[in-house]
Amino acid sequence: MTDDKTQPPVETSTIWGGRFSTGPDKIMEAINASIDFDQRMYAQDISASMAHAKMLADKEIISAADADTILSGLETIRDEIERGDFKFSRVLEDIHMNIENRLSTLIGDAAGRLHTARSRNDQVATDFRLWVRDALDYLDGNMKDLQAALLQQAHTHSGSVMPGFTHMQTAQPVTLGHHLMAYVEMIGRDRGRAADCRARLNESPLGAAALAGTSFPIDREATASALGFCSPMANSMDAVSDRDFALEFLAFASILAVHLSRLAEEYVIWSSQQFAYVKLGDAYTTGSSIMPQKKNPDAAELIRGKAGRVIGALNALLIVLKGMPMTYGKDMQEDKEPCFEVADTLQLCLVAMAGMLTDTTFDVERMSTDAGKGFSTATDLADWLVRVLGLPFRRAHHVTGAIVKLAEDKGCGLEDLTVEDMRTVEAGITAEVFAVLGADNSVASRVSLGGTAPANVRQAVAAAHKRFLDDG
């Protein structure tokens, strides 16, 4: 390795070698360069190059001395980038050539041996898979943290009664804990989709070269193992052209973003004065420049809005890929920015949502009061008529509807009617019916598997801890 640690100016000649006699137009240089965004893959690129160099030496394709020099130079470059001392150049197009150019400055001719038996096509495919795999791993941690915040609130509010809605109309009483546990399950499925995506992408393209493989006696199993892949990809053309893993990452991300948006929407509704179910702290709200009384749920609104960005990224990449023939085309340079942006967006949204949940105070008294409105225990009355009086459900439904109309005319709730009132509709009704008409009684009776009864919720919280949070 040379002692010169400085980076001289990059020459203006192209990196493609002798085929071209002049350099690209400035506009071509601007549209062609990806270094502004793919520099994020520096760690993956260096790791893959190190694995490749070691394999080349083990197979005696390059000398052990050259491999050691290459590895030392790559470690130096990684340190420079992490210290912020590395100067990226657009002239060199991408992260691969920026690193290779710097390696050549550091160690001389040995750097030119690193690209033996590989192409930028399999190199970028490998780097990108490694990057998406890392993104899935840290996003899984963020999703797990959100589940923990949901579970904490669900445990606290396992018996807090609130209205359950269909069509945004009061339907039946539920518990707040049960409501929040629905999102624990949704995020759990998101984590499962992320794990599935990770498992499918975990094959190595390295060694596929440009598209047809290589004549060198390489060991693709060795490089795959060194990089934590399960195996090499079976087909060299598929290896360089496949971006299913990026699409699947964005599809998982889009579903997760929709789930976050739905929870954010509930926060926006619940924090309104008309509902007033939640009181948001100062940490995740903002004020108004003109209305001093305002406390706006901006974090929730932004999470809701960013779902559009994530879904748009999936659509964008689908459109890029849908017309591409085998194998690699420069169109594929458009695959990374959507994934990079989506990973950043999701991490921000997941952390903000978990923080907002932790910073929330629920007005359980207001929720409980609303839970009894809108004749929310009408289904409980119909079930009682079936269970106790033996009415067919359709007859019980009709009788209950008539009793609801009676209460509506009297301007009172079902529980405020007298037995005599209800007997004008169905003579067999007894005072026992009042045991099912209160909201608290209603939720306590919902003991079927997956039901909203407080005892069920407490069991569900404990089970979810084991399924989602407990290690091992």
Q: Known catalytic residue: 167?
A: yes
d(CA 371, CA 367): 6
β-pair type (203-204, 231-232): parallel
Q: Pseudo-torsion of CA 97, 102, 108, 112, nearest 10°?
A: -20
Catalytic site residue from 63, 231, 272, 288:
288
Is residue 103 a contact partner of residue 114, using CB atoms and an 8 Å limit? yes
d(CA 146, CA 188): 10
* φ, ψ dihedrals at 173, nearest 5°: -65, 140
DSSP letters along 42-96, please?
Answer: HHHHHHHHHHHHHHHHHTTSS-HHHHHHHHHHHHHHHHHHHHT-----STT-SHH
**Of all helices (H) and strands (E), which one includes residue 280?**
strand 278-280
Q: Known catalytic residue: 288?
A: yes
**Where are the alpha helices (H) located in 297-360, listed in sequence order?**
298-321, 336-358
Catalytic site residue from 21, 167, 289, 448:
167
* φ, ψ dihedrals at 172, nearest 5°: -145, 155
What CA–CA distances, in Å, run from 273 to 57, 167, 277, 294, 297?
Answer: 69, 20, 9, 11, 12
What CA–CA distances, in Å, run from 445 to 171, 370, 403, 459?
Answer: 16, 19, 21, 15
d(CA 435, CA 417): 13
Count the helix, strand and coil residues of the chain and give each as a percent rounded to the nearest 5: 65, 5, 30
Give the gyration radius of the chain's Cα atoms: 31
- Active-site residue list: 167, 288
